[in-house]
Structure 1
């Protein structure tokens, strides 16, 4: 295979090490397998309206110049997110006949495509003209096929995968000691952007309920304060209600996230919408039970008792689900969780991805 280029509007940097880390992990996986891959991506999540326009404009122009300069050497392009990222791949196909693959992550369908009819139309064109569409969850596949008219044979469900060399069970006492966590507390963990749509406020409210039933419990929120105003709202709620044992832990590199997952008694993922829910898979790989909203790709991932599903935006149901996880037998459905981790392991993902690339790349 000749060189490929990966386009993404999310990619980590030294300042923002977890921003789009799943894209970088896949790129590194490809490179380790021998694929020559360049990356054209945005690695800074910050910015208001004007700054974002400038940021996206610079990235888009630089990516177009890259396509012009490398058009003869590219076997294909791979866009993460249908719009706006997939527009670059569409241009590459129409101007230089470079085939492309696009991965749909969820927000590009659930939010971006619903902004207006023009974006919805462009999203449909991008998806229909792709040589292959990858969706990170089964529900997204159904939407792509049903709502955007993509042939089902051109769509593959494939998560971003879990690195089992990073995420695996660890000795709980040892990692708790490393993280300065009390050995006897029941630790509830949240990992994700601290934004309203992730259900953070509902989680805090559910935790308040749980403290009356399970006194030795703590809540740790790991992630970026993407919305400072929302985080302040949550902190004011905590202060007004005098809720103790809630800790804002900030962002963590992946290897440390793996320790947090192994140290926790339960991972809570109360999102309003979720394309796949990769952190839930990482929790399963670490041997930690998952309680998550019954939205997006999570019902498929946590089916057959692999996790506990609760209604989104419902505090009482979330509290009940977490209590159930904290009092359940830790060995329940372990076999099913291990099957899922294997199915979504890097080895299996790489095999599928290289097959798609092989069927997509231009040979001339």
Structure 2
């Protein structure tokens, strides 16, 4: 009888709906060569699953909603590493019709999207380019599945994207608060976003922004009040992410113990990730240290894999090892990092990158370009375990890498500081609590003065009684 009473008094777990950037989930997975099955069974890390893990520790259940043109009805899966529910919804038919003739739906110009078109057809293509992304979300199906899963709030990956506008509208209709994060999207793909975005940003419940520069941008451009902004870093499973034995890691990769290794892991996008700068810097590092056993380990694949292959063949740089694969297994990534002496991130543009935090968790010093997010991660500079250089500057990158490679004792000290920084600022527990607190406070403000009790506020309050 007592057990039955406790079951009756048990409150439902707060549930958050998480929606990805991009029209279709396959637009992301196809570019990195990952099947949806592997996404469900093997993929870990990154901001998305970091959020899921962190919120889970804070007592919040997350349902990941994905949109796909490869299903015809809603389907449910379980993400094996986190236990989260993944709900896949079919893209609206009108979207699929509009998308079909497009060469690249994310292009900036009509030519990028449709190729060479002229006359009246060019006019209609221009119209379709501006509206296509706002057509990608199946509002009716999403509303039904949100109710079915008992979601009390919606969290979008990016606020500078059409899906955020649509979700804010849906949230208003359903009485649900809508939040969004910043993961690098500080641009707009269509003219339709220009008049809509100021309205939806004012109407949303709150924004989660890790970088100070982006906080300043949304405040100056859109007038978003400080109360709606939370500066919360992307989480990292620091407790279970640490260095492995270096000798074993190097033996597995065929790298000698006397070599000095610089590692980069991430997507292969030459301009965005600054890989052209890295190769130029590496050439300078080698020329200034003749006879040294130096290695540059590149890990990852992406849309520019073939271009990178051609560039490497053209430059004929000694000591470059490239693992052309998208690595889903945490142990494998840790092995690559553990084989290295220093991690580098030469990016021109980032949102809030997780890769350098993974390296810091493995006690690696970091040499990174000052792309958005990096100065926040290495806020204390050397005291945070790394060096920050101007982006796009191969000479500055080469000099910083050289400083670390030329002083192994100092490099080890930087690595210890990096690990401390990761433990203190990016752990799942700390970030999960911050996220949960922001959801509560923002929901409370949103429900003030309205006749409808906000459902997220209600459940959080009942749980804390």
Cα shift at 1:142: 1.6
CA distance in 1 between counterparts of 2:421 and 2:56 reads 26
SS in structure 1 of the partner of residue 152 of structure 2: strand
SS in structure 2 of the partner of residue 308 of structure 1: strand
Q: Which residue of 2 aligns with 1:343?
A: 425
Residue pair 2:57, 2:429 contacting (<8 A) in 1 also: no
Give unmatched runs, 5+ long, in structure 1.
none
Cα shift readout 1:76-133 (whole Å, capped 9, x = no counterpart): 1111111133124202222112111111112x21xx33x4553244333332222111
Q: Which residue of 2 aligns with 1:86?
A: 164
- Output aligned runs, 1:130-145, within 5 Å: 130-145=204-219
Q: Which residue of 1 aligns with 2:297?
A: 220
Cα shift readout 1:314-342 (whole Å, capped 9, x = no counterpart): 11111111111212312435346513432
Structure 1 residue corresponding to 2:435, chosen from 350, 353, 356: 353
Residue pair 1:166, 1:258 contacting (<8 A) in 2 also: no
Cα shift readout 1:255-302 (whole Å, capped 9, x = no counterpart): 321221222111111111222222112111110011111231212222
165 and 20 in structure 1: CA distance in 2 versus 1, 3 angstrom threshold: closer
CA distance in 1 between counterparts of 2:350 and 2:332 reads 23
255 and 324 in structure 1: CA distance in 2 versus 1, 3 angstrom threshold: same
Q: When the two structures are aligned, how many residues end up with a matched partner? A: 354
CA distance in 2 between counterparts of 1:69 and 1:5 reads 10
Residue pair 1:86, 1:102 contacting (<8 A) in 2 also: yes
CA distance in 1 between counterparts of 2:287 and 2:63 reads 53
CA distance in 1 between counterparts of 2:102 and 2:294 reads 40
Q: Which residue of 1 aligns with 2:458?
A: 363
309 and 279 in structure 1: CA distance in 2 versus 1, 3 angstrom threshold: same
Structure 2 residue corresponding to 1:332, chosen from 413, 431, 443: 413
Cα shift at 1:135: 0.7
Q: Which residue of 2 aligns with 1:207?
A: 282
SS in structure 2 of the partner of residue 244 of structure 1: coil
SS in structure 1 of the partner of residue 137 of structure 2: helix
Residue pair 1:99, 1:362 contacting (<8 A) in 2 also: no
| 1:129 aligned onto 2:203 | yes
- Output aligned runs, 1:147-296, within 5 Å: 147-195=221-269, 196-214=271-289, 215-227=292-304, 231-249=305-323, 250-253=325-328, 254-296=330-372
CA distance in 2 between counterparts of 1:42 and 1:314 reads 39
Give unmatched runs, 5+ long, in structure 2.
1-12, 30-35, 70-99, 107-127, 444-455, 460-465
Q: Output the TM-score relative to the length of structure 1.
A: 0.86
Cα shift readout 1:19-40 (whole Å, capped 9, x = no counterpart): 9842023224434554333211
SS in structure 2 of the partner of residue 332 of structure 1: helix
| 1:5 aligned onto 2:17 | yes
CA distance in 2 between counterparts of 1:275 and 1:310 reads 17
Moved more, 246-255 or 63-72: 63-72
Residue pair 1:219, 1:246 contacting (<8 A) in 2 also: yes
Residue pair 1:41, 1:59 contacting (<8 A) in 2 also: no
| 1:27 aligned onto 2:105 | no
Q: Which residue of 1 aligns with 2:4?
A: none
Residue pair 1:162, 1:346 contacting (<8 A) in 2 also: yes
Over aligned residues, Cα RMSD in angstroms?
Answer: 3.0
CA distance in 2 between counterparts of 1:336 and 1:260 reads 17
Q: Output the TM-score relative to the length of structure 2.
A: 0.69
Residue pair 2:360, 2:418 contacting (<8 A) in 1 also: no
SS in structure 1 of the partner of residue 367 of structure 2: strand
